[in-house]
Amino acid sequence: MKLIVDECLAESTKKILEEMAFEILEVDEIIGQRALDEEIYNYASEKQIAIITHDRGFGAIHFNASKNPPLTIILEMASPHPGAANKLIQKSFEKIKIQEKKYLGKLIIITSKAIQIRPKD
């Protein structure tokens, strides 16, 4: 499964995701450096590629978008330390298999206490 990794995520997080068999697409390689969140979201929507980020702004974009939403995963952490983010991803992705079709178009917010799965509608 392809996964757009936002620029705010660490290299170690990208490596963890690759080890979990995700095909990582980096924003600067597919869109360009300093791409706006809306540009990233629109690209992901057009191609139907999931996004993973720490940026809560993607939640608002997700609910305000008129297009087919991509799977949008937000890692919500008080301090987005790479080690903590990596553990959170590993723990959460054991519980939910984001590759399953039932997650297409959903907004998934992952915290240390819960995994919230929200449809666009």
CATH of the domain at 73: 3.40.50
**Count of the separate structural domains present in the chain:** 1
Q: Provide the pairing of β-strand 115-118 with 107-110.
A: antiparallel
pLDDT of 107: 97
Structure tokens at 36: 């706006």
Q: Indicate the pLDDT class of residue 81, thresholds 50, 70 and 90.
A: confident
Is the pLDDT at 95 greater than 90? The verdict is: yes
CA distance 109 to 74: 5
Range of the domain at 94: 2-118
* CB contact at 8 A, 119 and 105: yes
pLDDT of 78: 84
Structure tokens at 20: 């979990």
What's the gap between Cα 48 and its chain centre? 12
Task: Name the strands in the sheet holding 23-26, side by side, starting at the edge strand that comes first in the sequence.
Answer: 23-26, 2-5, 50-53, 72-75, 107-110, 115-118
Q: Indicate the pLDDT class of residue 79, thresholds 50, 70 and 90.
A: confident
Q: Indicate the pLDDT class of residue 67, thresholds 50, 70 and 90.
A: confident
pLDDT of 66: 75
